[in-house]
Structure 1
C-alpha cells in the first residue's frame, strides 16, 4: 500500500519526469550549421511520422533551401490497418501547401523506426551516402539516429517538438501530466532497449 502511494506520488511530481525527458531530448542537438540555417552541405531531409509540426517544419526548410529534397517515410503504425498511410496524408498536406511534387519522395510501407531507415534507403533516388538531415521529435531522436546510422545513412539530427521546455518548480504536481510524460519516456526507453538487444543478437548470429 505504501509502495503504491509512493509510486503514485512520484508519477505526479513533475520535476522528475521533466528531468528525465530533458536528458533524452538533449542528447543529440542539431549541428551549429543547421541551427544557423546553413544547409548547403546537405542533400535532403528525412521526415519521420506525420505530426503537423514536422510537416510544417519540412515545408519551411524546402522553401528556404531550394536545393533540398525531402523523403517522407511512414506507413501505418497499426499492423492490422488498411486505411491511408502517414505518407498519403503528408502528400495531401504538401500539395495543399504548394510544395512541388518533384521535390518530395515517399515511402509508404514502414511501421517502425527500423523500417523507416531500411525501406527509406530503398526508395529510388535516395543515396544514403550523401549527407541528410533527420527530422523527428527530440525524444525520439536518440533511437532514430542510432537506427539510421546503423543501417548506413550519412545523417545528422534536426530535432524538434520538445516537450521539456522550461523547468518545473519543485512544488509542481499533476498526476495526469506526469503520467503523460512518463509514458513518452518509457516508450522511448523500451524502444532503445529493444533495438539494443536486436543489435546484439544480430552480432552473435
Structure 2
C-alpha cells in the first residue's frame, strides 16, 4: 500500500507533470475566457519548462546530493561484505523480453561486480524486490544475480534480499540477512545522489560499520543547463524525488538528519 501511495503522490508532484498540468489548466481557462488566470498559468508553466528543461535546475539539485560523500578512488582494506541496492535493472522490460534490461543506475551492479572480483572473500548482498505498481514475476535481486554472473561473479556467491520495495526495507531486510558483527566493514553501493538517504537509513536501522561507495554520478556542473528539454526535465524529476524522499524519511524518523553525511557530519 505504501508503494502505491508513494507512486501516486509523486505522479502529482513530479515537476514535468506539474508543468504539464499548469499549461493544460491555463489553456482550459483561456477557452472559458478566464484569460488573466489562464495566461498566468501558461506563462508560469513555460518559464518552469525553460528553467528545468534547458536551465541548470536539475544539475543544481543533484550537486549537493552527489557531493555529500567523497568519491572512493581506491579500496585498500578488504571489506567484510558489499551491499548493492536495486535500481540497476528494469524488471518490467526484463520479464517482457526474457533478458536482463538495464535501467539508468546500472553502474550500481557493474561497480559492485568489479569490487566482488577484486575481493573474492567479501560477502555480497543484492537488495531489491518488485517496485512496480503491477508486479510481475521477476524480482530485481534475481536479475542482478544474472547480470553479475555475466560480469564474472559466480551466481551462487550473492545472498538475495528480494522483498524490499523502498530504501528503508533495503536496510532492514539486508541487515536481517547479513547480520553484520561489530568490527566488520561493509561497503554500501548505490547511486551518488541516493547515498545520503541510503546511509542515513542503514545507520538508523542499526547497521554499524557501513561505508559509502557512491557510483552512478549524474551531474556535470551546478551552473550548466541542458541542450534537450526532455533530459533536463528527467534530471529535475529524479533529483526532486530524492529530495522529497529525504524530507519524508526525516519526518517519519527513518533518518536522524535531513541530509545525512559522513560520520560526524550532520545537516
Q: 1:93 aligns with which of 141, 147, 164?
A: 147
* Unaligned residue ranges in structure 1 (runs of 5+): 201-205
Paired residues of 2:63 and 2:221 also in contact (CA < 8 A): no
Structure 1 position 198 matched with structure 2 position 252: yes
Q: CA deviation at 1:92?
A: 1.8
* Unaligned residue ranges in structure 2 (runs of 5+): 1-39, 89-105, 255-267
What do the CA deviations read for 1:83-110 (whole angstroms, capped 9, x no partner)?
1100110122233334234531110111
Structure 1 position 70 matched with structure 2 position 124: yes
Structure 1 position 127 matched with structure 2 position 165: no
Q: CA deviation at 1:167?
A: 6.0
Deviates more, 1:188-197 or 1:52-61: 52-61
Q: Pick closer, same or farther for the CA change 1:16–1:38 going to 2, 3 Å.
A: same
TM-score by length of 1: 0.85
Larger radius of gyration between Structure 1 and Structure 2: 2
Q: CA deviation at 1:78?
A: 2.0
Q: Pick 1 or 2: higher relative contact order, CA cutoff 8 A, min separation 6.
A: 1
What do the CA deviations read for 1:17-52 (whole angstroms, capped 9, x no partner)?
21221111111124xxx5222132x21110001413
Q: How far, CA to CA, are the matches of 1:116 and 1:169 in structure 2?
A: 34
Paired residues of 1:128 and 1:153 also in contact (CA < 8 A): no
Q: 2:108 aligns with which of 54, 67, 81?
A: 54
* RMSD between aligned residues: 2.3
Q: How far, CA to CA, are the matches of 2:125 and 2:196 in structure 1?
A: 20
TM-score by length of 2: 0.66
Structure 1 position 16 matched with structure 2 position 71: no
Q: Pick closer, same or farther for the CA change 1:93–1:5 going to 2, 3 Å.
A: closer
Q: 1:39 aligns with which of 64, 77, 81?
A: 77
Q: Pick closer, same or farther for the CA change 1:36–1:98 going to 2, 3 Å.
A: closer
Q: How far, CA to CA, are the matches of 2:205 and 2:227 in structure 1?
A: 41
Q: Pick closer, same or farther for the CA change 1:20–1:167 going to 2, 3 Å.
A: closer
Q: Pick closer, same or farther for the CA change 1:186–1:50 going to 2, 3 Å.
A: closer
Paired residues of 2:82 and 2:122 also in contact (CA < 8 A): yes
Paired residues of 1:50 and 1:90 also in contact (CA < 8 A): no
Q: Pick closer, same or farther for the CA change 1:12–1:94 going to 2, 3 Å.
A: closer
